[in-house]
Chain A
Amino acid sequence: ETGVTQTPRHLVMGMTNKKSLKCEQHLGHNAMYWYKQSAKKPLELMFVYNFKEQTENNSVPSRFSPECPNSSHLFLHLHTLQPEDSALYLCASSQDGKVNQPQHFGDGTRLSIL
């Protein structure tokens, strides 16, 4: 059982489509994260939200747009993606973003761009 739920689990979209990834955490945490996991590359941090405020944007292209309406929900809006954006997108949460707190991960959304 995971305290972090991501939907959908799989998504196939064309380059001109608009879609959104959803993440919900049931752990009472205040920090949430988006990561990109591509084959043969280390996990890449994309965005960090702490108490609903974005505290990190790791030079992510504007075709990725995050939204954090409350501490339990995090979205990643996708628009005009490129084939190289195909990857596993992981959401995580932690108590309040402090260095010694573990992050809890969802099972990810496998995104394929046609």
Chain B
Amino acid sequence: AQSVTQLDSHVSVSEGTPVLLRCNYSSSYSPSLFWYVQHPNKGLQLLLKYTSAATLVKGINGFEAEFKKSETSFHLTKPSAHMSDAAEYFCVVSEEGQNFVFGPGTRLSVLP
């Protein structure tokens, strides 16, 4: 069975400093992995996806994530946080024959 753990429910960074949002997954097979962002009163927007190609995945708005099979991790990073990055971030795992499984989310706060 697949599952997703987001290790931090809340991360706070200063504007211009790096962002690290952690995600670990459990999957029986080769998973597909996604990161989504949700701003207040909005739906989920796809940031990036991993589907068994390059392990370092670049997404929108300067975000990227690295798939590490040995660590079963798919952490999201950004070199320099912007105020507009403040939102809720969801890590998602999917495998053949199964629906999306969402992590509980990490709320990112960006301080001026």
Contact = CB atoms under 8 A, between A and B. Distances in A.
Interface of A: 2, 4, 6, 41-43, 45, 48, 56, 90, 92, 99-100, 102-108, 110
Contact of B98 (A4, A92, A99, A103): A99
A92 B94 CA distance: 15
Interface of B: 32, 34, 36, 41-46, 49, 51-52, 90, 94-100, 102-105
Given A41-B104, A108-B43, 6 more contacts: A42-B102, A42-B105, A102-B34, A102-B46, A105-B36, A106-B43
Contacts of A102: 34, 46, 49
Contacts of B42: 107-108
Contacts of B44: 90, 92, 103, 105
B41 A105 contact: no
A7 to B, nearest CB: 13
Interface centre among A2, A42, A48, A110 (most CB of B within 10 A): A42
Contacts of A2: 43
A99 B90 contact: no
Nearest to B47: A102
B100 A103 contact: yes
Contact of A56 (B49, B51, B95, B99): B99
B43 A4 contact: yes
A103 B97 CA distance: 16
Contact of A90 (B43, B49, B94): B43
A99 B30 CA distance: 10
B40 to A, nearest CB: 11
Contacts of B94: 99-100
B64 to A, nearest CB: 16
Contacts of B41: 107, 110
Contact of B96 (A56, A99, A108): A99
A30 B2 CA distance: 24
